[in-house]
């Protein structure tokens, strides 16, 4: 079983839910938690554990071979991303702009742009008892998150037994990274705040899930602030509301210093247990 | 000496465009001939990706000695400009091209390598 | 004309609520630009009238002309993104998987593949409740949130400011550290970082500060919810001092932000106490700092 935790907007409690839920469940059975918010991976502030291994993530980019090149400029013509530019007598490759389509390389009449691997990020594996934690991290300066997300998911697939529960902390937004992180999971939990901003961004996230034809439910974070519009929306749209995490300043304070809320705040632990019960009723968890 | 400016217009009174890659125009001043020419860059300001390298390429073809701009080019464009041995002068973001030229001549703008 | 850009790195720090408050304080002397492409929420507080709308095109996707296609399968063979599907006897492109690289179109022997520019949403010029103009956009899902939209919104905001003789552009910037935020920063006269004193807030702020440094921009910092962790707030304060970032204000944890948002109001309209005073003082400071840089 694979569950992703996502949200339309950043800062609504995605990482809080992913880390606390994974930690709590790992007290019952083994769990894999993968942080796929590779631009700003923050789950690691909350899950400490023994470091098992680190693996670099590479992707393929062309590398100019000056000796073979006849400066015909075909590479620059076929590149739609302006990643290959002919400047005078030189061909420059801009790694960050390259999407790895191989067109320049394979269509070069001189074979002067062979593809080589290029490091764009890394995956680190940690273990804390029955909680296996994977962190995907994009190097600063890189713009394309998808290859690192893909590799981290692959790692989670291959390294662990098929039956083990996998929880993904997805990136925010509604564009390619979140689609990559959610397209192959069995269930998605969308987390939101009960405010106008929260609701507006939730609706966008719901649109994505419907487009991907995914099974999903909603958790309200900071329940008690704002208004009841999110609850009404769930009813109107017949989307299961699977949990409400209460609004507490102590939660914000615990989060600030990297603490797990389920450990120290009983009200939040209860809310999480309820989410687990609801996931069982929905047959997402056994 | 040939001096290039990133600008929002085509004459000496045009404001400097503080951006490099998505500048509207490149203004070229040839000091020896005392000729000012404007190169339209609006086609590139509309591209989704890689505006920096494309503008750098356009600039490179003009073979300027100095580029006067606002904030300075980002990483990609800077790498391309290095190739052309073009001196980059920044901090002219709120001036007109004329003011920027005078400020440069008076040594009031920052150079960056 | 000056351009002030507000960014945060991490989501949920209160950036948009604070920007909307500044928009009200700037009155009709500023054009507002919403470049927060992932979560364009400022319209919920500023009541735009969507009076001028235009389609926005970005990115290309391959489309196979079934009439011309000879079913040679070359397109499927070269595609590195598994975007070409063979179904029974025809080849089609799955738009969501297509990167727009045009390799298939390049090698198609029958010239049956067209690269079609995508209509991904709309951008608007609106009048808002402070009687000024706001430029904003609404994108469809899965749209390429590249720097192109951000550049477009900023460019239009500049045009409006020139036409209406306004001195200031106030930009709600994009999140993260990728292409959209780079585009948001480009051309800024002054950058404001809104952060919160949490481990993740501080971490993300440092990542985005690297970009500000790359662009050699002057910047200031607002620490929102500073009392949630005074120790980290002090560390942020020290970081600002060491890196010549102006410290603009500390704002306490206050649920009035949410209460105001729930009524569709900015803090300035909703609260006449402490928060409004802090924001008014901050705005004065920001204008002075922007002028002096």
Instruction: Tell if the CB–CB gap between A94 and B57 is shorter than 8 Å.
Output: no
Instruction: Tell if the CB–CB gap between A85 and B54 is shorter than 8 Å.
Output: yes
Q: CA-CA distance, A197 to A78, in Å (whole number)? A: 42
Q: CA-CA distance, A31 to A49, in Å (whole number)? A: 14
* CA distances in angstroms from C291 to A87, C25, C28, C162, listed in the order given: 39, 17, 18, 18
What's the mean pLDDT in B10-36?
Answer: 92
Contact status, residue B110 vs residue B89, Cβ threshold 8 Å:
yes
Question: Is some CB atom of chain B closer than 8 A to the CB atom of C187?
Answer: yes
Cβ neighbourhood burial of B82 (10 Å; 0-12, 13-18, 19+): middle
What's the mean pLDDT in B33-59?
Answer: 88
Query: Which of B71, B79, B94 best tests the C interface by mutation, with the highest count of C CBs <10 A?
Result: B71
Top mean-pLDDT range of A98-112, A164-178, B48-62 = A98-112
Count Cβ atoms below 10 Å from residue B89 Cβ, excluding itself: 21
Please report all neighbours of A, defined by 3+ CB atom pairs within 8 A.
Answer: B, C
The number of C-beta contacts closer than 8 angstroms across B and C is 48
Evaluated on CA atoms B12, B18, B24, B26, the torsion sign reads: positive
Closest partner CB to C187 (pick from B47, B70, B90): B70
Q: How confident is the model at residue B42 (pLDDT cuts 50, 70, 90)?
A: confident
Please report all neighbours of C, defined by 3+ CB atom pairs within 8 A.
Answer: A, B
The pLDDT, as a whole number, for residue B13 is 94
Q: Looking at residue A258, what DSSP letter applies?
A: T
The pLDDT, as a whole number, for residue C146 is 66
Question: Is some CB atom of chain A closer than 8 A to the CB atom of C106?
Answer: yes
DSSP string, A216-243: EEEEEEEETBS-SHHHHHHHHHT--EEE
The pLDDT, as a whole number, for residue A278 is 97
Task: Out of 3.30.70.20, 3.30.465.10, 3.60.15.10, 3.40.1410.10, select the CATH number for domain C58-119.
Answer: 3.30.70.20
Quick: pLDDT tens for A167-181: 999 998 888 889 999
Residue with tokens 């030229």: B101
Query: What is the signed CA dihedral for C175, C177, A184, A174, rounded to 10 degrees?
Result: 30
Using an 8 Å CB-CB cutoff, list chain B residues near C217.
Answer: 71
Closest partner CB to C96 (pick from A10, A179, A258): A179
State which fold the B2-112 domain adopts. Nucleotidyltransferase; domain 5 (3.30.420)
Find the angle CA(B83)-CA(B81)-CA(C216) to the nearest 5 degrees.
135
Backbone angles phi, psi at C32, to 5 degrees: -100, 140
Query: Which of C137, C149, C176 best tests the A interface by mutation, with the highest count of A CBs <10 A?
Result: C176
Q: What is the mean pLDDT of each run of 10 residues along chain C (293 residues)?
A: 91 93 95 87 95 92 96 96 92 92 97 94 94 91 72 91 94 81 84 96 90 85 96 97 97 95 96 94 96 78
Q: To the nearest whole angstrom, how far is the Cα of B15 from the nearest Cα of chain C?
A: 10
Contact status, residue A34 vs residue A131, Cβ threshold 8 Å:
no
DSSP string, A92-154: EE-GGG-----HHHHT-TT----EEEEEEEEEEEEEETTEEEEEEEEPTT----HHHHHHHHH
Domain edges within chain C: 2-47+128-292, 58-119
Residue with tokens 């935790």: A5
The pLDDT, as a whole number, for residue A253 is 94
Count Cβ atoms below 10 Å from residue C292 Cβ, excluding itself: 9
Q: CA-CA distance, B81 to C226, in Å (whole number)? A: 43
> Which superfamily does CATH assign the domain made up of C2-47+128-292 to?
P-loop containing nucleotide triphosphate hydrolases (3.40.50.300)
Closest partner CB to C146 (pick from B45, B48, B70): B48
Backbone angles phi, psi at B107, to 5 degrees: 70, 25
Give C59 or A52, the one with higher predicted confidence. A52
Q: CA-CA distance, A21 to A24, in Å (whole number)? A: 5
Count Cβ atoms below 10 Å from residue A149 Cβ, excluding itself: 28
Instruction: Tell if the CB–CB gap between A87 and B49 is shorter than 8 Å.
Output: no
| Those residues with Cβ within 8 angstroms of residue C87's Cβ, 6 or more apart along the chain or in another chain | none
**Exposed e or buried b per residue across A26-65, where buried means at least 16 C-beta atoms within 10 angstroms of its C-beta:** beeeebbbbbbbbbbbbbbbbbeeeeeeeeebebbbbbbe
Q: CA-CA distance, C235 to C57, in Å (whole number)? A: 43
The pLDDT, as a whole number, for residue C293 is 67
Work out the mean pLDDT of chain A and round it to a whole number.
94
Contact status, residue C58 vs residue C149, Cβ threshold 8 Å:
yes
The pLDDT, as a whole number, for residue B113 is 55
Instruction: Tell if the CB–CB gap between C214 and B74 is shorter than 8 Å.
Output: yes
The pLDDT, as a whole number, for residue C144 is 65
The pLDDT, as a whole number, for residue A88 is 86
Instruction: Tell if the CB–CB gap between C187 and B45 is shorter than 8 Å.
Output: no
Quick: pLDDT tens for A241-279: 999 999 999 999 999 999 999 999 999 999 999 999 999
Closest partner CB to C187 (pick from B49, B51, B71): B71
Query: What count of Cα atoms within 13 Å lies in the side-chain half-sphere of residue C202?
Result: 23
Residue with tokens 């013509």: A77
Inter-residue long-range contacts of A113-117, CB under 8 Å, 24+ positions, other chains counted: A113/A62, A113/A63, A113/A64, A113/A65, A113/A75, A113/A84, A114/A62, A114/A63, A114/A65, A115/A60, A115/A61, A115/A62, A115/A63, A116/A60, A116/A61, A116/A62, A116/A63, A117/A58, A117/A59, A117/A60, A117/A61
Domain edges within chain B: 2-112
Count Cβ atoms below 10 Å from residue B21 Cβ, excluding itself: 26
Q: Looking at residue A44, what DSSP letter applies?
A: G
Tokens of C85: 């599907």
Find the angle CA(B75)-CA(B79)-CA(B83) to the nearest 5 degrees.
165
What's the mean pLDDT in B52-68?
Answer: 92
Q: Could you give the domains of chain A?
A: 2-58+120-281 (3.40.50.300), 64-113 (3.30.70.20)
């Amino acid at each position: 079983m694979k569950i992703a935790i996502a949200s339309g907007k950043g800062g609504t409690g995605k990482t809080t839910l992913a880390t606390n839920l994974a930690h709590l469940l790992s007290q019952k059975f083994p769990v894999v938690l993968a942080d796929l918010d590779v631009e700003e991976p923050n789950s690691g502030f909350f899950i400490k554990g023994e470091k098992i291994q680190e693996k670099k993530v590479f992707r393929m980019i062309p590398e100019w071979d000056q000796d073979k090149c006849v400066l015909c400029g075909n590479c620059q013509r076929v590149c739609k991303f302006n990643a290959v530019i002919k400047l005078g007598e030189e061909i420059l490759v801009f790694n960050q702009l390259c999407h790895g389509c191989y067109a320049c390389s394979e269509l070069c009449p001189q074979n002067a742009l062979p593809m080589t691997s290029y490091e764009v990020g890394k995956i680190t594996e940690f273990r804390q008892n029955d909680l296996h934690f994977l962190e995907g991290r994009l190097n600063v300066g890189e713009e394309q998150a998808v290859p690192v997300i893909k590799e981290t998911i692959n790692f989670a697939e291959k390294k662990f037994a098929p039956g083990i529960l996998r929880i993904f902390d997805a990136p925010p937004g509604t564009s390619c990274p979140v689609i990559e992180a959610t397209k192959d999971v069995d269930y998605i939990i969308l987390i939101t705040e009960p405010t106008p901003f929260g609701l507006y961004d939730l609706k966008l996230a719901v649109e994505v899930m419907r487009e991907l034809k995914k099974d999903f439910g909603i958790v309200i974070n900071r329940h008690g602030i704002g208004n009841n519009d999110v609850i009404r929306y769930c009813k109107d749209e017949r989307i299961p509301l699977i949990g409400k995490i209460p609004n507490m300043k102590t939660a914000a304070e615990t989060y600030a210093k990297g603490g797990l809320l389920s450990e120290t705040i009983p009200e939040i632990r209860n809310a999480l247990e309820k989410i687990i019960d609801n996931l069982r009723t929905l047959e997402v968890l056994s | 000496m040939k001096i290039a400016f990133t600008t929002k217009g085509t004459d000496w009174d045009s404001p400097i465009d503080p951006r490099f890659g998505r500048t509207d125009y490149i203004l070229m001043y040839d000091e020896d001939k005392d000729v000012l020419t404007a190169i339209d860059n609006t086609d590139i300001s509309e591209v989704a990706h890689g505006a920096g390298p494309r503008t750098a390429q356009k600039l490179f073809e003009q073979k300027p000695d100095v580029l006067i701009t606002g904030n300075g080019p980002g990483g990609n464009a800077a790498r391309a400009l290095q190739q052309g041995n073009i001196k980059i002068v920044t901090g002219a973001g709120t001036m007109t091209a004329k003011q920027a030229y005078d400020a440069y001549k008076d040594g009031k703008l920052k150079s960056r390598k | 004309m000056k351009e002030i850009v507000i960014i945060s790195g991490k989501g949920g720090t209160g950036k948009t609520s604070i920007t909307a408050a500044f928009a009200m304080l700037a009155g009709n002397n500023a054009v507002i630009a919403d470049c927060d492409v992932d979560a364009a929420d400022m319209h919920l507080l500023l009541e735009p009238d969507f009076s001028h709308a235009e389609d926005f095109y970005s990115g290309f996707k391959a489309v196979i002309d079934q009439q011309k296609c000879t079913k040679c399968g070359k397109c499927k063979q070269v595609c590195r993104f598994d975007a070409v599907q063979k179904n029974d006897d025809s080849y089609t492109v799955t738009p969501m998987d297509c990167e727009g690289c045009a390799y298939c179109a390049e090698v198609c022997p029958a010239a049956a593949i067209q690269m079609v520019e995508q209509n991904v949403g709309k951008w608007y010029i609106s009048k808002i409740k402070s009687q000024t103009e706001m430029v904003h956009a609404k994108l469809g899902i899965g749209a390429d949130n590249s720097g192109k939209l951000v550049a477009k919104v900023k460019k239009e905001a500049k045009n409006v400011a020139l036409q209406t003789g306004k001195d200031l552009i106030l930009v709600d910037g994009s999140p993260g550290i990728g292409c959209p935020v780079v585009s948001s920063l480009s051309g800024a006269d002054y950058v404001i970082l809104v952060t919160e004193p949490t481990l993740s807030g501080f971490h993300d702020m440092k990542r985005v500060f690297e970009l500000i440094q790359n662009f050699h921009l002057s910047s200031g910092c607002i620490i929102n919810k500073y009392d949630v962790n005074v120790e980290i707030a002090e560390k942020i304060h020290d970081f600002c001092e060491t890196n010549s970032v102006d410290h603009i204000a500390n704002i306490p944890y206050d649920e009035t932000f949410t209460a105001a948002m729930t009524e569709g109001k900015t803090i300035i309209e909703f609260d006449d106490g402490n928060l409004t005073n802090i924001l008014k003082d901050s705005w004065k400071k920001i204008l002075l700092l922007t002028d002096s840089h």
